[in-house]
Amino acid sequence: MITQTSSSRPVSPARRRSKLGVALVLTAVLTAGAFAQAPAPAAATDPVVAKVNGVEIRQSDLAIAEEDVGQNVPAGTPDAKRDWLVNYLTDMMLLAKAAETQKITDAPDFKKRLAYLRSKALMETLLRDSGKAGATPDAMQHVYQEAVKQMAEEQEVHARHILFRVADASDQNASKAAEAKARSTLDRIKKGEDFVKLATDLTEDPPGKADGGDLGFFTKDQMVPEFSDAAFKLDKGQVSEPIKTSFGWHLIKVEDKRKREAPPFEQVKDQIETFVTRKAQIELLNKLRAEAKIERLDKPEAAPAPAAAPGAPTPAPAPEKK
């Protein structure tokens, strides 16, 4: 959908990363001293950074904690961040040990909570692993090639524009004044004055003053409809009549037209990997749902709808060049 941004240019603006989260950390800490009992990776790659009553905190524990708390880690130097994470894990271990001493682990509420957190950690780990398994080089290349095929038929236009802004679209007097300026400028262009120079001197689009109103190449859906409709009807070298959009009145000059060029694979590799990963996660979940007997006892039974993988939004279409 084309939206209008705070910029005066008529351009449509172009992660939530799934993580192990608090479930993994709490499950590790609250199940009978997991820090102490878990087999330790090689010390060279996972050094001990602290001990709490003899129980080791390793570098890998800091990584899990950082993944869990994410943006809640206070801003600061790397050393300050590391100190905060060590203190966070220290407090967690002390409180967990105190909870064990008070027999909180025997409480029914705790057992329910722990079972939930264990299921959540298992779910997120399986989704992570299935996503990684699905994001093979062949799968990513297939998505890329399909996107390239679709883009081969799409046209791009390279255009410049001169904008006479209307701050309030409901202000008829301001709109008429802007239109009059656009028509006067068009007369000057028809008499031979240079479009780029006039854009530099007259446009009320601030970036346009620096680049002669140059918008570069764009596809039809990257601009507001009124602007795109006019630009794509023009031939190379033609200048439009004044065009009204929600930004004001424009004059458009088409510099060139071409079939849309696909971005290099490496440029969109991360987007493709995210798409393929989420696709694998959703396919796994839908398969499991299809094989399961799911009953809702709190409401009349309804046909289940396919669902997106927890923690991952529905995959976007194949990546486009912006």
Cα 94 to the center of its chain, rounded Å: 38
pTM of the model: 0.53
- What are the φ/ψ torsions at residue 12 (nearest 5 degrees)? -85, 130
Q: What is the mean pLDDT of residues 289-302?
A: 83
- What are the φ/ψ torsions at residue 248 (nearest 5 degrees)? 145, -145
User: Among residues 278, 286, 223, which one has the least CA distance to residue 252?
Assistant: 223
- Residue 95 has a pLDDT of 95
Fold classified for 153-259: Chitinase A; domain 3 (3.10.50)
Cα 282 to the center of its chain, rounded Å: 18
Q: Using CA atoms in the order 261, 203, 212, 9, what is the torsion angle rounded to 10 degrees?
A: -20
Give CA–CA dist 114/10, Å, rounded. Answer: 52
Lowest average pLDDT, out of 75-79, 262-266, 292-296, 302-306, goes to: 302-306
Q: Return mean pLDDT, the chain.
A: 82
Asked whether residue 316 carries a pLDDT value surpassing 90, the answer given is: no
Asked whether residue 21 carries a pLDDT value surpassing 60, the answer given is: no
Reported as a single tens digit per residue, the pLDDT across 177-217 is 999 999 999 999 999 999 999 999 999 999 999 999 999 99
Contact 35, 90 (CB under 8 A): no
User: Among residues 290, 220, 217, which one has the least CA distance to residue 256?
Assistant: 217
Contact 10, 245 (CB under 8 A): yes
Reported as a single tens digit per residue, the pLDDT across 161-176 is 999 999 998 899 999 9
The bridge status of strand 214-218 relative to strand 55-58 is unpaired
Q: What is the mean pLDDT of residues 133-162?
A: 90
Reported as a single tens digit per residue, the pLDDT across 74-92 is 888 889 999 999 999 999 9
Give CA–CA dist 100/318, Å, rounded. Answer: 50
Cα of first residue to Cα of last residue in the chain, in angstroms, is 14
Give CA–CA dist 38/25, Å, rounded. Answer: 13
Q: Which residue has the higher pLDDT, 10 or 131?
A: 131
Structure tokens at 72: 């809640």
Q: Which residues contact 125 (CB under 8 A, 6 or more apart)?
A: 20, 24
Structure tokens at 170: 């409901």
Domain assignments of the chain as residue spans, ordered by start: 21-134, 153-259
Q: Which residue has the higher pLDDT, 155 or 7?
A: 155
Place 11 in a pLDDT band, splitting at 50, 70 and 90.
low
Give CA–CA dist 182/64, Å, rounded. Answer: 59
Give CA–CA dist 100/245, Å, rounded. Answer: 66
Q: What is the mean pLDDT of residues 289-300?
A: 87
Query: What are the contacts of 27-36 at 24+ separation with CB within 8 A?
Result: 27/114, 27/117, 27/118, 27/121, 28/64, 29/92, 29/93, 29/96, 30/96, 30/99, 30/105, 30/114, 31/114, 32/100, 32/105, 33/97, 33/100, 35/61, 35/93
Most confident of 25-29, 38-42, 43-47: 43-47
Asked whether residue 1 carries a pLDDT value surpassing 80, the answer given is: no
Reported as a single tens digit per residue, the pLDDT across 225-283 is 999 999 999 999 999 999 999 999 999 999 999 988 788 999 999 999 999 999 999 99
Asked whether residue 314 carries a pLDDT value surpassing 80, the answer given is: no
Place 151 in a pLDDT band, splitting at 50, 70 and 90.
confident
Reported as a single tens digit per residue, the pLDDT across 90-115 is 999 999 999 999 999 999 999 999 99
